[in-house]
């Protein structure tokens, strides 16, 4: 998953974006924060609810998965371990997808909340029907239009750039383990 900062909405709205290059933000801190967000039980619940892996709980999913930053990049790597390679790939893909959806919800949540409040106030003013109320409603409608534009321009700050196409077996490795055991046994026997 590629992490990126979005400055277009802040530029259009005239509000300074602390994520813009004009401000220094510790990249390690940003990555650590995003890893912690991805590891929330809420995320595991979302993945399990969407992927519906047979007999796998959200806690078991968290125990069999990991998220790590790719060194010297703006990428997060999502990994899932499973006895079934197809299930591991499916869960890893759903995990990264759910993370990007949740990140967009976090990024646009405050603006959407403000928009809902503004629309409610506009409805109240229109219901009042007096001339000053209607003028205020019209002014607020202009502000609501600006917020709607801001939400429309807000792109996801986390984008899946590569999906899992398959899974590789990581263990157990009986041949390697057997040779190691044989060598250890010979050394101890001598």
Share of the chain above pLDDT 70, in %: 83
Q: Could you report the per-residue pLDDT of 13-24, keeping only the tens digit for each?
A: 555 555 455 556
pTM over 0.85: no
What is the Cα gyration radius of the chain?
25
pLDDT at residue number 20 = 52
DSSP 8-state assignment for residue 12: H
Which segments of the chain have a pLDDT < 70? 5-25, 154-156, 166-173
180 CB-near residues (< 8 Å, 6+ apart): none
Residues 6+ apart with CB under 8 A from 164: 88, 89, 90, 92, 93
Phi, psi of 66 (to 5 degrees): -150, 155
- Extended strands (E) in the chain: 2-3, 65-69, 76-80, 158-159
At 99-133, the pLDDT tens digits run 999 998 888 888 888 889 999 999 999 999 899 99
Closest CA to 2 of 89, 107, 77, 90: 77
Token pair 């229109």 is at which residue?
A: 126
Q: Give 159's strand partners.
A: 2
């Amino acid at each position: 998953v590629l992490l990126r900062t979005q400055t277009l909405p802040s530029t259009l709205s005239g509000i300074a974006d602390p994520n813009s290059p004009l401000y220094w933000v510790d990249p390690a801190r940003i990555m650590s924060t995003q890893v912690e967000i991805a590891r929330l039980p809420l995320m595991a619940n979302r993945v399990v609810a969407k992927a519906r892996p047979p007999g796998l709980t959200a806690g078991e999913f968290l125990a069999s998965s990991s998220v790590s930053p790719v060194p010297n990049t703006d990428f997060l790597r999502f990994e899932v371990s499973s006895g079934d390679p197809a299930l591991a790939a499916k869960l890893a893909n759903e995990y990264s997808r759910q993370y990007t959806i949740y990140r967009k919800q976090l990024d646009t949540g405050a603006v959407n909340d403000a928009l809902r409040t503004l629309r409610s106030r506009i409805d109240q003013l229109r219901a009042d029907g007096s001339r000053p109320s209607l003028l205020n409603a019209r002014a607020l409608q202009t502000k609501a239009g600006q917020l709607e534009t801001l939400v429309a321009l807000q792109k996801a700050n986390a984008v899946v750039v590569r999906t899992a196409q398959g899974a590789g077996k990581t263990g157990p490795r009986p041949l390697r383990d057997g040779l190691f055991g044989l060598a250890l046994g010979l050394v101890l026997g001598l």
